[in-house]
Amino acid sequence: MRKKVFYGSPNKIMDFIWSDEISATLYSIANTLFMLEKKIKEGKTIGTVRIDYYSTLSEDEIKRISYLLRVLVLEVLYEDISFVLVKKDLKDKKKSPTFKDCSTICLFSGGVDSTLGIIKSKDYYGEVLGLFVAHQDLGWITKKVEEIRKVLLGERGIELVKFLAPSMGKGYSQLRGFLYVLYGAILSSFVQAGRIIISECGVTMRQPKFAPFDTITYTTHPLVLKISKEISEIILNRTIDIVLPFEDFTKTEMMSLISDDSILSKTHSCITSRWGKNCGKCYACLTRMVGSINLGLSLDYFNENLFEKKDNEILNSLLDFCLNYELNKNEVDYVSLNTIMQYGKEDLFRRFCQETFLSLKKLRDQGDLDINYEFILDYYNEHKPRILEKREEELARIKNPDFNKIL
């Protein structure tokens, strides 16, 4: 089958992007990669991608960007595609936007992690500018983010900028994290920011396969962030810090810093929240449920409760992973375990696994645990006596974000 050439359209939906060559180049690369993934998912066989660029780049810089894009697509989408950058002149420049200068940008999605991240960033740095990337077909998320902006951010003096992005379409986009970081770099060029905050918790950033046929989430995977950072720095012609203050936090540890139902219920966690509510049946919702149960918070804002379903595949695979990780690491998938060890996150996932079993203990204490899960909990307690009590004591001690964690 002959492989096609994909010429990435810049998808001109924000006029001010075309006010200078740097923002136009970042925008063109970000959107092309995002739309390329959709073409691949449609079954298109693509051999070469051509991308317009507008800023001044050396031959070595062009080669490096092309190489990094090829690595990114190969590692994340498992497609070997060549990239050709095509120099274009930026004609009919638009009026430059008037954003107030700010040294710190925090990517904001309206989830638990980003809500906590932007609030804590404001506390730490004294100023922060939030960036929300709104996809054209995710109106419900945009509405939720606007509610959070009015209720939580406005009263704290936190400004939120909205950038428009191409439609998400069906399913999940693995390269949306790349899009978001490059959009962050665009905003940084307008406001003279030197850092971008990525406030995802560490377990999500490096989530391994909990079951053999799971799909790994790459949105804030270190590989995606490193490539996004390097490409941004080449085009910006300066360094920019990617700060990861919660990379050593579990979801429960993050939620313990913002354990307020009135706040948590306004945030969203999963891709199906495009319909206005957390689905309650994906891994993102499951880890959030674990945190809510451990902290005594409400589960009313989920459409479904995974813990109420008997023989639930998602919960079962997570418990199987956690049991093996704690008691018999030889049974953990080699690739998943190697990923955890490669980044030195063994203790992070130990705490994560213990919190998963702690949520079972909490449910049993309330009389709400199915008997099948009671057997698993008893087996775990038999081999790890008093570990859950110790973990509960640890959670009672506040753990502060580390803003010195820089990629």
pLDDT for residue 178 is more than 70: yes
Task: Give the separation between CA 43 and CA 24, rounded to whole angstroms.
Answer: 29
pLDDT for residue 320 is more than 80: yes
Helix (H/G/I), strand (E/B), else coil: 85: strand
Q: How far is CA 294 from CA 97, 200, 315, 362, 392, in A?
A: 45, 20, 16, 7, 8
pLDDT, average across residues 42-47: 84
What is the rounded average pLDDT for all residues in the chain? 87
Tell me: the pLDDT tens digits for 336-387? 788 888 888 999 999 999 999 999 999 999 988 888 888 999 999 999 999 9
pLDDT, average across residues 49-57: 94
What single string gives the DSSP state of each residue in 224-236?
A: HHHHHHHHHHHHH
pLDDT band at residue 3, thresholds of 50, 70 and 90? low
Tell me: the pLDDT tens digits for 217-262? 777 888 999 999 999 999 999 999 999 999 999 999 998 887 677 7
Torsion angle in degrees (nearest 10) through CA of 283, 288, 293, 296 = -170
pLDDT of residue 11: 63
- The two tokens of residue 115 are 């809500």
Enter the pTM of the model: 0.90
Tell me: the pLDDT tens digits for 274-294? 555 677 777 888 888 899 899
* Domains of the chain, start order: 4-87 (no CATH), 104-243 (3.40.50.620), 275-395 (no CATH)
Q: How far is CA 291 from CA 8, 42, 120, 181, 359, in A?
A: 41, 36, 19, 27, 8
Tell me: the pLDDT tens digits for 304-314? 777 777 667 88
**Residue with tokens 């005594």, as numbered in its chain:** 296
pLDDT band at residue 137, thresholds of 50, 70 and 90? low
Tell me: the pLDDT tens digits for 68-109? 999 999 999 989 999 999 999 988 888 888 888 999 999 998
Question: Best-predicted range by mean pLDDT among 5-9, 38-42, 113-117?
Answer: 113-117
The answer to whether the Cα torsion of 63, 69, 70, 75 is positive or negative is: positive
CA 147 from chain centre, in angstroms, equals: 21
pLDDT for residue 300 is more than 90: no
